[in-house]
């Protein structure tokens, strides 16, 4: 969740650290801080702009560590902001994660005379390192000794005033990336702030420690054994993490939908054979033929993508599918065997609960697959095989383009597995042809921005919304409601339209509007009946409809039309206007769309 960034090199570090924090701001914005050896510490509550305003004096130095906080232990205050230091103000630590045994460690350190000034778990690390330095260990050994005492998750960077060129990083359960430059090196929570400096990176693995100086880097484990790993060259471009003239990343990323689908399907569709080429799955193709059950695991938006995947895979691949929330799966006792596949969906590839689900499935002999957007992430390494999204970096906290890419990837996986089984050539060809047309159809929807903006303005004073859909678009009702909640703070609930009479209908009146996804598909007539139920209670309805459907003009004047496609692919189109609707609602309320309150991008802690 929190963002860490560190630099050591031949340039002045302060502007590089500020720039790095600005790139990472989607990971947390409760508070921010920077430490530069021999120049000191500066911290502020709130976003990076607040930190900039406090820079009243020069802070020279060629290295430093920086942090953006998403609060877990302790309120967002300046005292609780990172970096945290030891009693002598020599050792400074920035941390992403949770130290579970911090109280026990803190009590021991208090008995030794250590003085704490914050409520955070992180401060314990600085004092532990100080403790081990005091018993004649050197800087690197002291950090390792401290980490051996810790239970929990961490991605850390540590700076020591006495060795200013050296920065130590370590990871256990929270992502850490090394960026390798020309006479400069970097540490970050993810690659986005590194990209403008270098594309050469190394992803640390759990239990690893890295030491960087301007000209060197070393990696070893907690037993001090050296680790050798080749660098990776990122295929992302630095321009991809810029707004490119858009007011917000969220709008930019919605508008990138056509390109995202193009990138997800590029080189993978074989239309004449009704087939796809998924190199990541071909290595386990024989084993996939033997499976008799799939469990899809995700959190938040990824979970809703999985619900759409359930409909796809059951209808076209003929395999029983269950979809589980990652945070619940890990506390159950799931029935898993060697003929079960666990398919994990995650934009970041670092989602803590999803990772634990993978590990549980592997312990029980299941084949594990991933649909992940981040190359080198933990989920890509720990799963047996998978599909990379190729969606590019997603900066907006509320996921938009990653969701569209996940749905597209699930359609490809369905085609891959379905053609292994009973899917006919003609059905495979039809699906492949329609997938190929998706980018063009999304572009058509994006031309409706002015109509969607007008609807958002019309309903700007609404305090509640109901979203309803059926079959493939039931999960889209859930996701549409989530988007509205995330960025506009309007109460919204997503429901299967068939459940209206089982409770939600009680909420409907002239002040409680409904968004209904009513496409020309197998449940169209049922949806019309549900819309009539709403209208009979004086409820207003915003309808997502298939282009050319004139029947619905009798039901509402607020209709957003989308192009026709086959039913299994309709969610990839129907979500686009709902993303735009949420965006313009939030914009009308003058909210920070990219940084919704209390949320951050990558959930690496429980």
At 18, which CATH number? 3.60.20.10
Q: 342 and 235, same structural domain? A: no
521-566 pLDDT, tens digit each: 999 999 999 998 888 888 899 999 999 998 999 889 899 999 999 9
Determine, yes or no, domain membership for 359: yes
Domain endpoint, select from 191, 223, 241 = 241
- pLDDT, residue 74, reads 66
Domain endpoint, select from 415, 443, 471 = 443
User: Of 2, 85, 87, 299, which one is the catalytic site residue?
Assistant: 2
Q: 232 and 263, same structural domain? A: no
Backbone conformation region of residue 390, classed left if phi is above 0, alpha if psi is from -120 to 50, else beta: left
Q: 551 and 462, same structural domain? A: yes
Q: 346 and 385, same structural domain? A: yes
pTM above 0.85, yes or no: no
- pLDDT, residue 118, reads 92
Determine, yes or no, domain membership for 61: yes
Window from 184-198, 409-423, 448-462, 498-512 with minimum mean pLDDT: 498-512
Q: Reply yes or no on whether 87 is catalytic.
A: no
Predicted confidence (pLDDT) at residue 308 exceeds the cutoff of 70: yes
CB 268 within 8 A of CB 409: no
pLDDT tier at 131 (50, 70, 90 boundaries)? very high
Q: 204 and 123, same structural domain? A: yes
Question: Which run of H or of E encompasses 227?
Answer: strand 226-227
Determine, yes or no, domain membership for 260: yes
377-391 pLDDT, tens digit each: 889 889 999 999 988
Name the domain count of the chain.
Answer: 3
Predicted confidence (pLDDT) at residue 605 exceeds the cutoff of 60: no
Q: 473 and 385, same structural domain? A: no
Predicted confidence (pLDDT) at residue 418 exceeds the cutoff of 90: yes
Q: Reply yes or no on whether 601 is catalytic.
A: yes
Determine, yes or no, domain membership for 299: yes
Q: 113 and 8, same structural domain? A: yes
Determine, yes or no, domain membership for 596: no
Q: 428 and 479, same structural domain? A: no
How many angstroms separate the CA atoms of 407 and 404, rounded? 5
State the residue range of the domain holding 518: 452-588
How many angstroms separate the CA atoms of 101 and 121, rounded? 9
84-98 pLDDT, tens digit each: 999 999 999 999 888
Q: How many whole angstroms from its chain centre is CA 85?
A: 30
User: Of 106, 471, 540, 601, which one is the catalytic site residue?
Assistant: 601
Q: 159 and 195, same structural domain? A: yes
Pairing of strands 491-496, 558-562: unpaired
Determine, yes or no, domain membership for 531: yes
Q: 473 and 436, same structural domain? A: no
Determine, yes or no, domain membership for 603: no
Q: 523 and 428, same structural domain? A: no
Nearest to 351 by CA among 325, 322, 321, 390: 325
Q: 221 and 281, same structural domain? A: no
Determine, yes or no, domain membership for 82: yes
Nearest to 385 by CA among 404, 365, 371: 371
CB 298 within 8 A of CB 402: no
187-245 pLDDT, tens digit each: 998 888 898 899 999 999 999 999 999 999 999 999 989 999 889 888 766 556 666 67
User: Which domain CATH number covers 501?
Assistant: 3.40.50.10490
16-42 pLDDT, tens digit each: 999 999 888 777 678 889 999 999 999
Domain endpoint, select from 391, 408, 443 = 443
């Amino acid at each position: 969740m929190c963002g860490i960034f560190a630099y050591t090199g031949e340039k002045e570090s302060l502007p590089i650290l500020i720039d790095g924090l600005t790139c990472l701001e989607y990971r947390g914005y409760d508070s921010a801080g920077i430490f530069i050896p021999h120049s000191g510490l500066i911290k502020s509550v709130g976003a990076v702009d607040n930190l900039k305003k406090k820079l009243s004096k020069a802070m020279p130095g060629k290295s430093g560590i920086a942090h953006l906080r998403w609060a877990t232990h302790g309120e967002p205050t300046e005292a609780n902001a990172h970096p945290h230091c030891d009693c002598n103000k020599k050792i400074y630590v920035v941390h992403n994660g949770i130290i579970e045994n911090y109280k026990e460690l803190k009590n021991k350190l208090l008995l030794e005379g250590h003085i704490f000034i914050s409520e955070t778990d992180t401060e314990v690390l600085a004092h532990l390192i100080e403790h081990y330095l005091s018993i004649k260990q050197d800087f690197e050994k002291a950090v390792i000794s401290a980490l051996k005492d810790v239970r929990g998750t961490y991605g850390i960077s540590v700076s020591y005033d006495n060795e200013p060129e050296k920065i130590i990083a370590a990871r256990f359960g929270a992502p850490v990336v090394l960026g390798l430059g020309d006479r400069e090196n970097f540490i970050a929570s993810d690659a986005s702030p590194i990209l403008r400096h270098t594309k050469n990176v190394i992803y640390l693995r759990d239990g690893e420690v890295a030491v960087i100086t301007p000209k060197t880097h070393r990696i070893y484990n907690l037993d001090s054994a050296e680790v050798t790993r080749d660098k990776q060259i990122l295929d992302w471009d630095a321009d991809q993490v810029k707004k490119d003239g858009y007011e917000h990343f969220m709008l930019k990323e919605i508008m990138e939908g056509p390109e995202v689908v193009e990138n997800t399907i590029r080189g993978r569709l074989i239309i004449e054979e009704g087939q796809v080429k998924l190199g990541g799955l071909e290595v386990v193709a024989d084993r996939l033929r033997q499976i008799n059950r799939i469990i899809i695991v995700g959190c938040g938006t990824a979970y809703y993508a999985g619900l759409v995947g359930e409909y796809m895979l059951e209808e076209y691949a003929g395999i029983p599918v269950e979809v589980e929330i990652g945070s619940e799966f890990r506390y159950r006792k799931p029935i898993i065997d060697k003929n079960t596949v666990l398919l994990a969906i995650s934009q970041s590839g670092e989602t803590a609960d999803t990772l634990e689900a993978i590990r549980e499935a592997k312990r029980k002999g299941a084949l594990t697959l991933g649909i992940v957007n981040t190359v080198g992430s933990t989920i890509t390494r720990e799963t047996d095989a998978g599909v990379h999204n190729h969606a590019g970096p997603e900066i907006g906290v509320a996921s938009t383009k990653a969701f569209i890419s996940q749905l597209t990837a699930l359609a490809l996986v369905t085609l891959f597995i379905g053609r292994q089984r009973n899917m006919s050539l003609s059905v495979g060809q039809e699906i492949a042809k329609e997938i190929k047309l998706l980018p063009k159809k999304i572009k058509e929807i994006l031309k409706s921005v002015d109509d969607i903006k007008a609807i958002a303005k019309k309903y700007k004073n609404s305090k509640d919304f109901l979203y309803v859909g059926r079959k493939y678009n039931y999960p889209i009702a859930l996701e549409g409601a989530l988007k509205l909640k995330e960025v506009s703070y309007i109460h919204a609930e997503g429901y299967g339209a068939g459940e209206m009479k089982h409770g939600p209908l009680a909420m409907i009146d002239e002040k409680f509007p409904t968004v209904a996804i009513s496409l020309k598909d197998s449940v169209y007539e049922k949806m019309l009946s549900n819309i009539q139920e709403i209208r009979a209670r004086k409820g207003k309805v915003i309808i997502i409809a298939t282009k050319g459907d004139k029947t619905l003009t009798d039901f509402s004047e607020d209709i957003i039309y989308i192009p026709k496609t086959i039913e299994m692919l309709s969610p990839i189109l129907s979500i686009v206007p709902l993303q735009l609707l949420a965006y313009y609602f939030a914009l009308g309320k003058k909210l920070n769309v990219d940084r919704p309150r209390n949320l951050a991008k990558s959930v690496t802690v429980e």
